Amino acid sequence: MISFEMSSHQQQVKDVVHWFAENEMRPISMEADKMGRVPDDWLEKINQLGIQLSTSSFDGGEQKSEKKEKKRKSERQGNRLAVIASEELGWGDPAIALTLPGPGLGGPPVQSSGTPEQKERFLSIFSKDEPPRWGAYALTEPDAGSDVSGIRTTAKKVEGGYVLNGQKIFITNGARASWVVVFATVDRSLGRAGHRAFVVEKGTPGFRCTRLARKMGIRASETAELLFEDCFVPEENLLGGEAYYESRGSGPSGFQVAMKTFDNTRPIVASMAIGIARAAYEYTLDWVRREYPRHGRFYHRASEVLANAELDIEAARLLTWEAAWKADIGQPNAKEAAMCKAYSGKIALDVCAKCLELLGPAGLENHILEKLYRDAKIFDIFEGTNQIQHLVTARQLYEPHGVRV
């Protein structure tokens, strides 16, 4: 049974990351949002501290995977530590959190599906002894966002590897990444079974960034559009290797790599949304205690809004902890991951909106609450929209009983 109390180690992680968020992230938050980027000298300093946003960075690192495999699944807590830490990072600044050096969303598919050689080759570069480096994850396309099965980027088999052609959009850290996990299809007629995942390295001929997006929220994070034009990728960069796909016959293994990644990352994204909601709630609660008279309808209205906000935040956190816990003990968590992502994204936006309403003009014009509201919106969209999360949940409820959704 999942425990609702944090262990001493989990509490220590929470305290350390909160200190970091309060003392390192918050002071540069508004300026980074205004500039649309995180200062390079700050990133260099953070890289030296070895701070990353991933499950492996909180659970001892995946380079020691052989030793970790000997541990009982119940002993693992990388996902739980990641969601605890991610909430504090989201509280500090979600855009800066997404910009922290490390493998990012590209890490989970390499860790779960890569060969031992690929894990060593692509993950060992993320070290505090090295310059800041990033990984990225490229799945979304202009005509295939929520409907992942509709990807059009092609991978044509040639001697020694594959040639990729296509476009990817909304890729976090896509321009600065040392490598990007790219999903493409070897045969569109096969549907999901034709999907393959490749690691494409920066500087590969035919691979380039065409545009950096300007956004309403999380402005300090980099969001890129990537283009692949006759981009040759060697066979050893096919994630998992040829044998990985051959062993699965005609099954949709490339698609499964993408979905497994989401099962691990959606709780992390959900926890960041919870951090945004908590930041808005805590700021507004403090403001109401200082500014509102202790009587009258305005104070009672504020009390009702803030009580509901705390209820939503606590419920979202428990959903998220359950999804992370199931991932740590090796149980399927697709439904829980979808549920916590859907609920947390919704409550983040709702809580920020209600808090802005309470503060009125005092919460606008280059104010932290106004920024939190802008930042919150994307958490209802990326890593699968709210509607897609409900579809995933419905499939988990009905398809085991033979009902197609």
Report the catalytic residues. 383
> Mind giving me the DSSP string for 177-234?
-SEEEEEEES-GGGGGGGEEEEEEETT-TTEEEEEE---SS-TTS-EEEEEEEEEEEE
Minimal CA–CA distance to 228: which of 146, 169, 150, 161?
169
Hey, what's the torsion of the CAs at 384, 386, 387, 392, to 10 degrees? Answer: 60
User: What is the C-alpha separation between 260 and 252, in angstroms, rounded?
Assistant: 12
- Around 213, how many Cα atoms within 13 Å sit in the side-chain half-sphere? 18
- Contact indicator for 153, 184 with CB cutoff of 8 Å: yes
Helix (H) or strand (E) holding 273: helix 253-291
* Cross-strand partners of 144: 141
10 Å Cβ neighbour count for 2? 12
SS (H, E, C) 42-83: HHHHHHHHCCCCCHHHHCCCHHHHHHHCCCCHHHCCHHHHHH
